[in-house]
Amino acid sequence: MPEQALPFPLPVVPPRFTPLTAAVQNRRLAQKLYAQFFSWPIERSRRILETTPAEVWEREGQKRALYIFHQAAERVPAYKDFLKKHKINHEKVRTIKDFQAVPPIDKKNYLDHHEASELCWDDLLGSTQMTAVSSGSSGKPYFWPRGALLEIEITFLFELILSQLFQNEREPTLFVNSQSMGMYIGGPFTLNAVLRIAQKGRNLNVVTPGITIDDVIQVISNLGKRYSRLVIAAYPPFAKDIADTGSEKGIDWREISEMKFLLFGEGYSEAWRDYLGQLVGHRSPQNVVNCYGTADAAILAHETPNSIHLRRALISRPPSGRSVFGNGRLPTLMQYYPTLRYLEIVDGEIVLTFGSGGIPLVRYNIHDNGGLINSLSVADHLRSVKNGPDSTYAQIPFVYLFGKSDHTATFYGLNVYPENVKAALVHKEIRKYVTGKFQMSTEYAKLTQKQYLLIRVELAPHIKPTAKLKVGVKRVIVERLRQMNAEYRKLYESIGRKAIPRVALHSWGDTRYFTVGAKQRWKKIT
């Protein structure tokens, strides 16, 4: 077995379980992991990140990916069956090149064919203590059991992220967890992790109003001024709802000396990041940190000072962005730990391997479009950024995301990307009237079967849909599409008004299309 995974003192996979010993093993494992967490100084993790060279991260990530593969091949009935069907003898897979020849798995070719226990380590659901449910944004819901190892792993990661956010960890901090609670992964996972961090001795108080906007505002109105720092964990559109509604309800955000946002669920533009900062009266882009998480594998990556600086620098130098990302689109950019989540790119999509969950995933395709960047390849870009790179994250690699492959609408043979519309909805002319949530789909007229692009836009609270507002929103969307999408611009010049999308405005919280406070639900594109 490889040495304990960097940068935290954790095993790579759970120990082997049996039905008769699972309860005792779980107790012993949890006792050990909790003791390690409470005695481990997070500053040590930061030193490991600073001093471990980039090539070591890659090498150790490969070693652990191979180890997880062999463990899954021996201990997971579903994966044994998968390898048998593809005539693969796992003992012959010895190098990372051999590993890259193993067929990827996904929901359709793997998860949908097996019972939950068959997907778990040692064919045993009893080796886990909690089950989360995926959001269902890409289809039917899936169930994800997890145990102490994944819980403590993510707690370590949250502590590292929060240490990045906090300039002074002794300042009293109110952490407002405004994510979906209940059976979904985001809210409960965040609560569990932050509560453990508080119990470790941090000056943290966590409160869980969830995604009910009135509850969030009530909490902040009553408690916000009593703390030196306020951290809001939310989905990006809901974070904007909180800032907007708080101002309407009389909250003076400037009275809170330090405001931070920890965001999940989807990407956003730098204009949106700046706008959120303006709403609450702060200017530092590092006060808004995004995390790349899935129900499948919890947190895969997160923004760092380096990734934020680099992304903003590439905006101002479009040719540099094309050289880094391969095209003119600007994706979400984050950094990740290869020893926790080993990432690969297969046909332009992100494939991951990790073993700390109740269901290990080996070369699992989550069907997110994106790519990987070695930290060395962007070192020159980072050095050119004002204030320079953060040495803590100087060596770990970057992952960039364009979003789900099926979230792009095909219109007259060209692609209309979600980020094109996102950019329009934060435009200064309309952003105060909308939440930023939208649905985009290709539709056909019933009688003529003529194709058109339909964009449903959620309005901000208390904003009424009017013909004038619809005209304004449509105009800004078309302007942004023409500016950002060269194919659309050519189409517009060719067919004129036929290229203009239809826009439908929906009242805030219209449950037919949007869920208040929750992750963006995308309509399946045809």
Q: Which residues contact 94 (CB under 8 A, 6 or more apart)?
A: 66
pLDDT (tens digit per residue) in 417-450: 788 898 899 998 999 999 999 998 888 776 656 7
pLDDT interval class at 170 (50, 70, 90) = confident
* Token pair in block for residue 427: 């435009």
Q: At what angle do helices 42-51 and 148-165 cross, to 10 degrees?
A: 80
Is the pLDDT assigned to residue 221 strictly greater than 50?
Answer: yes
* Domains along the chain with CATH numbers: 1-404 (3.40.50.12780), 409-506 (3.30.300.30)
pLDDT of residue 1: 58
pLDDT of residue 139: 43
pLDDT (tens digit per residue) in 391-412: 888 899 999 988 666 567 777 7
Q: How would you class 158 by CB atoms within 10 Å of its CB: exposed for 0-12, middle for 13-18, buried for 19 or more? A: buried
pLDDT (tens digit per residue) in 90-100: 999 999 999 99
SS percent in the chain: helix, strand, coil, step 5:
45, 20, 35
Name, of 107-121, 160-174, 436-450, 505-519, the range with top average pLDDT: 107-121
Q: What is the mean pLDDT of residues 113-142?
A: 80
pLDDT interval class at 5 (50, 70, 90) = low
* Token pair in block for residue 478: 């078309």
CB 116 within 8 A of CB 145: yes
pLDDT (tens digit per residue) in 316-373: 776 766 677 776 677 899 999 999 999 999 999 999 999 999 999 999 998 888 999 9
Chain mean pLDDT for the chain: 87
Q: What is the mean pLDDT of residues 230-234?
A: 94
Is the pLDDT assigned to residue 525 strictly greater than 50?
Answer: no
pLDDT of residue 265: 76
> Nearest CA to 373 among 293, 287, 314?
314
Q: What is the mean pLDDT of residues 470-494?
A: 88
Q: pLDDT above 70 covers what percent of the chain? A: 91
Is the pLDDT assigned to residue 492 strictly greater than 90?
Answer: no
pLDDT of residue 524: 41
pLDDT (tens digit per residue) in 254-291: 888 889 999 997 778 888 888 888 888 877 888 999 99
pLDDT interval class at 518 (50, 70, 90) = low
> Nearest CA to 501 among 420, 403, 404?
420
Is the pLDDT assigned to residue 504 strictly greater than 80?
Answer: yes
pLDDT of residue 135: 54
Residue with structure tokens 């507002």?
469
**What beta strand segments (E) does 179-317 contain?**
204-207, 229-234, 258-264, 288-294, 298-302
Q: Which residues contact 206 (CB under 8 A, 6 or more apart)?
A: 175, 177, 191, 194, 195, 198
* Token pair in block for residue 443: 């539709």
CB 276 within 8 A of CB 239: yes
Query: Which string of b and e fits 461-482 if b means at least 16 CB within 10 Å?
Result: eebeeeeebeebbbbbbbebbb
pLDDT of residue 83: 97
How many whole angstroms separate alpha carbon 123 and alpha carbon 117?
5
Please state the separation of Cα 486 from the chain's center in Å. Answer: 28
- Residue 262 CB neighbour total at 10 angstroms: 26
Is the pLDDT assigned to residue 519 strictly greater than 70?
Answer: no
> Nearest CA to 495 among 456, 454, 452?
452
How many whole angstroms separate alpha carbon 32 and alpha carbon 294?
27
Is the pLDDT assigned to residue 35 strictly greater than 70?
Answer: yes
pLDDT (tens digit per residue) in 281-299: 877 888 999 999 888 889 9
Lowest mean pLDDT among 110-114, 271-275, 366-370, 385-389: 385-389
pLDDT of residue 443: 85
Query: Which long-range contacts (C-beta less than 8 Å, at least 24 apart) are formed by 311-320?
Result: 311/270, 312/270, 312/285, 312/385, 313/381, 313/384, 313/385, 314/381, 315/270, 320/381
Pairing of strands 434-444, 451-459: antiparallel
pLDDT interval class at 177 (50, 70, 90) = very high
pLDDT (tens digit per residue) in 36-89: 999 999 999 999 999 999 999 999 999 999 999 999 999 999 999 999 999 999
Q: Which residues contact 189 (CB under 8 A, 6 or more apart)?
A: 132, 154, 298
